[in-house]
């Protein structure tokens, strides 16, 4: 066996090891207890795949590659250190879009190279390059729009009459231009194809409402993985094929689970007005305020307390104080649980990340299906920052834009306390009937400040200890 053959075998074997580490890392991410090590395993696999790539015979532009890796590493490290936990969904959306853009760039470079040479290495590679470029471009521009919406830089939903028909025409144009690229490999066709593909991602995301953002982020993650897998085939890189396929499959599975949790189809997420506001039935009654001292006493002498966190808790950075409050209740013999809706927050697992950061044990965190039957036997439910995911109109008002979405049945609790800054609406832009229920009281104020007040009141009840 020649030296070149041995080197090729080592490279392919290293890619296989890297792919195995990706798979094992993904498997370990299935549990909060092993997720950190799963990320580390996958990171080691990524480093291995990157280093081995530099040993591919005939590799060019090594200097540019090193500069790009250095810049990317520094920018990611700095931004990752600085980003607030409330901005994590925006960062995930943006980084995911960059992954899709990278895959699209690979396809673009290869298409232009083949255009200059006058031919492609094969019809399959050519078709997959175009498909990967299309999907990656949509993921890039769509993720940027999702980032802008999540970051408050753009309205949560934008649509115009006949937009679905227009979007369908743009999609058809992208397909036609993609076919033209496959047929002719002309530079003008490649440029037009990319422009239309990027426009398609923007147009697809503009009309999607805020309540659907977690599903959208997950869907674009799946598309990015698929694009990477296609371009991995184009480059003949096994690591990209396997890693992209895993990301695509995992992302699509998560998207389906998220859509199911909202009683939605992916089609309805992309082509309907969910989460964009609507003409729901008028809610009668009034919001009834309560003081922190009364809430503390109510919780201190309760048998069961369920805490329902939402995005507002992340904004207030109240997770640590909420956990301190929970610990004091547990010390008094109160049974405390945390209830997590699958789409609470702005991205999948957002609340789980917050609670893990605060040190909440995993066995105290319950998902929606497990906790819902327990609400009717719960003495006090404390809602902090959650809104749409506890809104009863999802079950009672067919005119509501969130009708049909499974919710946490907080309204069935004996008493419900809602910590809220004011009387504003949730991300879906509608009133919450829970706030007007007979058994609900509103504790107005900043989440962290109110949690701190509750801790202080509990200390007073315990004689200052």
* Torsion, CA 200, CA 204, CA 206, CA 210, rounded to 10: -150
325 pLDDT more than 70? yes
Residues 419-426: contacts with CB within 8 Å, 24+ apart? 419/312, 419/382, 419/383, 419/384, 419/385, 419/443, 419/445, 419/447, 419/450, 419/451, 420/312, 420/385, 420/444, 421/312, 421/445, 421/446, 421/447, 423/287, 425/387, 426/211, 426/387, 426/388, 426/391
Catalytic residue selected from 155, 294, 370, 388: 388
- Which residues make beta-bridge pairs with 378? none
Best CA proximity match to 110, nearest among 119, 97, 99: 119
pLDDT for 402-411, tens place per residue? 788 889 999 9
pLDDT for 40-94, tens place per residue? 999 999 999 999 989 888 888 889 999 999 999 999 888 888 887 777 788 888 9
Domains of the chain: 3-271 (no CATH), 292-461 (3.40.50.1220)
Q: DSSP secondary-structure letter at 430?
A: -
Residue 101 is predicted with a pLDDT of 94
Treating both helix axes as pointing N-terminal to C-terminal, what angle do 3-28 and 238-261 enclose, rounded to 10 degrees? 10
CA separation for the pair 342, 258 (Å, rounded): 7
Residue 170 is predicted with a pLDDT of 94
Whether 462 is catalytic is no
Which residue did the predictor score with more confidence, 422 or 462?
462
Q: Which SS3 state, helix, strand or coil, does residue 107 take?
A: helix
pLDDT for 245-303, tens place per residue? 988 998 888 888 777 776 767 776 666 544 444 455 566 678 899 999 999 999 999 99
Least confident of 16-20, 33-37, 43-47, 397-401: 397-401
């Amino acid at each position: 066996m020649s030296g070149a053959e041995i080197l090729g075998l080592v490279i392919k074997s290293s890619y296989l090891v890297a792919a195995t580490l990706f798979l094992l890392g993904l498997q370990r991410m299935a549990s909060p207890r092993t997720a950190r090590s799963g990320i580390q395993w996958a990171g080691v696999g990524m480093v291995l795949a990157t280093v081995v790539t530099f040993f591919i015979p005939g590799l060019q532009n090594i200097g540019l590659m090193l500069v790009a890796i250095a810049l990317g590493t520094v920018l990611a490290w700095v931004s990752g250190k600085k980003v607030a936990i409330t901005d994590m969904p925006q960062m995930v959306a943006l980084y995911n879009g960059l992954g899709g853009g990278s895959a699209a760039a690979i396809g673009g470079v290869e298409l232009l190279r083949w255009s200059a040479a006058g031919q492609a290495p094969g019809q399959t590679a050519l078709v997959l390059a175009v498909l990967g470029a299309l999907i990656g471009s949509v993921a890039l521009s769509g993720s940027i729009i999702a980032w802008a919406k999540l970051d408050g830089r753009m309205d949560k939903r934008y649509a115009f009459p006949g937009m679905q028909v227009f979007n369908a025409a743009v999609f058809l144009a992208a397909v036609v231009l993609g076919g033209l690229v496959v047929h002719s490999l002309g530079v003008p066709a490649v440029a037009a194809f990319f422009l239309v593909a990027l426009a398609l991602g923007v147009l697809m995301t503009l009309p999607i409402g805020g309540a659907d953002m977690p599903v959208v982020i997950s869907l674009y993650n799946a598309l990015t993985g698929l694009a990477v897998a296609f371009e991995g085939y184009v480059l003949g890189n096994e690591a990209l094929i396997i890693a992209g396929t895993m990301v695509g499959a995992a992302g699509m599975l998560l998207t389906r689970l998220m859509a199911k949790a909202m009683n939605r189809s992916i089609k309805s997420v992309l082509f309907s007005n969910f989460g964009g506001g609507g003409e729901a039935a008028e809610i009668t009654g009034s919001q009834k305020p309560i003081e922190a001292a009364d809430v503390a006493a109510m919780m201190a002498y309760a048998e069961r307390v369920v805490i329902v966190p939402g995005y507002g808790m992340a904004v207030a950075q109240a997770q640590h104080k909420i956990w301190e409050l929970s610990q004091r209740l547990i010390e008094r013999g109160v049974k405390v649980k945390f209830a997590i809706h699958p789409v609470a927050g702005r991205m999948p697992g957002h609340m789980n990340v917050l609670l893990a950061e605060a040190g909440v044990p995993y066995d105290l965190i319950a998902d929606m299906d497990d906790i819902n039957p327990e609400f009717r036997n719960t003495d006090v439910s404390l809602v902090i920052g959650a809104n749409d995911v506890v809104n009863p109109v999802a079950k009672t008002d067919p005119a509501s834009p969130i009708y049909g979405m499974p919710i946490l049945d907080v309204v069935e609790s004996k008493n419900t306390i809602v910590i809220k800054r004011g009387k504003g609406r949730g991300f879906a832009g509608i009133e919450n009937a829970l706030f007007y229920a007979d058994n609900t009281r509103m504790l107005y104020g900043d989440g962290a400040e109110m949690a701190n007040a509750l801790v202080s009141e509990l200390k007073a009840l315990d004689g200052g200890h």
